[in-house]
Chains A and B, each alone.
Chain A
Amino acid sequence: MASADTAVARPPRAGLRVPLGGAALARGTATLWISVIVLIPLAAVVNRGFEEGLGHFWEAITDPEAQSAIKLTLISSLIVVAINAVMGTLIAWVLVRDEFPGKRIVNSVIDLPFALPTIVAGLTLLALYGQDSPVGIHVAYTRAAVVCALLFVTLPFVVRAVQPVLLELDKEMEEAAASLGAPNHRIFRSIILPNLSPAIIAGCGLAFARAIGEFGSLVLLTGNIPFDTQVASVYIYGRIETNDASGAAAVSVLLLLISVGLLLALNAFGSWRSRHERA
């Protein structure tokens, strides 16, 4: 549709009619801000990770304690994402399709993990499910604690990803399927779920990226026992405290690769979908 020349010759959209120099200044300032605050520090991490050579990098990430931490992180995050895929969709469903007194409050509460400092999140779980738990559930200092804390902080992702899609879903598609004889469970499986799955996947991706980097909520609750309940972020913290900056950087690079890779994949997925989804 857009010919090659229009793409090249197209001027910046009008609107704030700043002089052309002004537009470039704005662009430059924005880029500078992000570079100084974000990009340069990240580059420093990558640099440090490989500073002492590829061999050293490899040693750092295959260190037994590091391996244990990384494994715990990845497995816990996967478990948590799987649970969120189901529970998140369920909660979104109830919030969109059901009516009950207090629903608005429940809807607001979903955002609590976004608003609450992670350290306090760990504290709240500790208060109830820690050593002197009033309900007799003791998850503190266990691997279960990792899963609990991650479930807390990742709760909103799938719910909030699915809710708007569910709201927009064309009810008439479901009515059409019903008029053609489909029972409710079939309607859910063949009509609703396929239209929700991109949102569920996106939500799960975000949740995973968040989960593998989580730190604050785990610090108090898990006890950070090496080879047992220590996650990757805590391991990195430990390496920093013992002045092993390159060890810390190496594992950090690994985490960065996973989460940045995920971020790029999700963004690409997102723009691919908006290109192909019309009607």
Chain B
Amino acid sequence: MAISVNHVTKRFGDFVALDDVSIDVPDGGLTALLGPSGSGKSTLLRVIAGLEQPDSGQVLISGEDNTRTRVQDRNVGFVFQHYAAFKHMTVFDNIAFGLRIRGEGNGTIRERVRKLIELVHLQGFERRFPNQLSGGQRQRMALARALAVEPRVLLLDEPFGALDAKVRQELRAWLRRLHDDVHVTTIFVTHDQEEAMDVAEQIIVMNDGRVEQSGGPRDLYEHPASEFVMSFVGPAHRLGDAWVRPHDVEIHHQPNGQTSEAMIDRIVHLGFEVRVELTLADGDQFSVQLTRDEVDQLELSEGEIVFVRPRATRVFGPDGAAAGRAPEPELA
């Protein structure tokens, strides 16, 4: 089921959470809403779900206008950051809840729940209560619960935010595999750009209640449409007027045309990669990412004066929007 949001605005008192937002999510796709706190991404998700009503605009699910439909009738699956488990019910009853609402027979319910429990690897936990499960298990239960009623759309609000780093990694991979199997249109909200890049096919970047850019992970990384997107999706530094990625910078011992002078503050070895922290002539901090081998070849040391040259930069206009790439620097 494809989803369209057309010119939605939502205010909470004086605060504008969504400002004329329009997005399109393809049928069966796996989309991330990415942005910092307060960007409006959770609000947008809740508007799509029907948990919030927009002040103006439309929400279309599969071409049908669902803007005024109650959440009960939209048939969307929603997964919360803090699981929202029915703590007075067993795992089985939690998952079966939606089916019982619809009046399904006991036999059907048992079958369906059993399949879902297998799908989320919670065999043996049917009779347990949520407070007896770990965070990751609770979230898998919440997912199974949402999927039980075969929703048209699956919406996840920072689903892994409350979990440990390791569990987060596992569940990310698991969500991707799940999507491959089940193929329901899925939208998830995250503030973690790495998570978005890792999991999603399409990323919609939001800031201050507006959509900054929408596209695939590579697209956003290599062709950011604005300053915000460049600095939010992937590491980025200012170099004068332009922006550059730390791995797109060369270090030389001699000045060389387009180079800038800088002093090495610190060389941080992060396994295979090395981060060289520098201070530029104008006092700004900067960092360059090199491989181990490159650093060895250059024989860099802390306190040394070196000269940096970007391989590729982007310049943005005064309003932050893209003005294109800076001209390719001439090779010395």
Contact = CB atoms under 8 A, between A and B. Distances in A.
* B partners with A: yes
Interface of A: 170, 172-173, 175-183, 186, 190-191, 194-195, 277-279
B87 A279 contact: yes
B97 A180 contact: yes
Given A186-B101, A279-B131, A178 B85 contact: no
Interface residues of B, number: 31
Given A186-B101, A279-B130, A179 B86 contact: no
Nearest to B131: A279
Contacts of A179: 49-51, 71-72, 74, 76-78, 146
Contacts of A172: 80, 82, 84
26 contacts: A170-B82, A170-B87, A173-B86, A175-B51, A175-B71, A175-B84, A176-B80, A178-B72, A179-B71, A179-B76, A179-B78, A180-B98, A180-B145, A181-B73, A181-B75, A181-B101, A181-B102, A182-B97, A182-B98, A183-B72, A191-B86, A195-B88, A277-B131, A279-B85, A279-B87, A279-B130
A72 B70 CA distance: 50
A176 B102 CA distance: 15
A279 B86 CA distance: 11
B320 to A, nearest CB: 35
Contacts of B98: 180-182
Given A176-B78, A186-B101, A277-B131, A181 B72 contact: yes
A177 B78 contact: no
B149 interface: yes
Contacts of A173: 84-87
SS class, residues of chain A in contact with chain B: helix
Closest 10 A/B residue pairs (Cβ) = A279-B131, A180-B98, A172-B84, A179-B78, A176-B84, A194-B88, A278-B131, A172-B80, A178-B71, A181-B101
Given A173-B84, A279-B85, 6 more contacts: A170-B84, A179-B146, A180-B149, A181-B101, A182-B101, A277-B131
Contacts of A195: 87-88
Contacts of B74: 179
Interface in B84-113: 84-88, 97-98, 101-102
Contacts of B50: 179
B23 to A, nearest CB: 20
Contacts of B76: 179
Contacts of B70: 178
A53 B153 CA distance: 76
Most buried by A among B88, B130, B148: B88
Nearest to B102: A181
B236 to A, nearest CB: 35
A186 B100 CA distance: 11
A190 B97 CA distance: 10
A190 B94 CA distance: 11
A178 B98 CA distance: 9
Contacts of A277: 131
A177 B101 CA distance: 9
A275 to B, nearest CB: 11
A13 B73 CA distance: 55
Nearest to A187: B72
A80 to B, nearest CB: 28
A195 to B, nearest CB: 6
B52 to A, nearest CB: 10
Nearest to B49: A179
B116 to A, nearest CB: 13
Nearest to A180: B98
Contacts of A194: 88
Contacts of B130: 279
A103 B77 CA distance: 36
A174 to B, nearest CB: 9
Nearest to B82: A172
A179 B74 CA distance: 8
Contacts of A190: 97
A103 to B, nearest CB: 19
Interface string B230-274: 000000000000000000000000000000000000000000000
Interface-central residue, A170, A194, A195, A279, by most chain B CB under 10 Å? A279
A179 B45 CA distance: 13
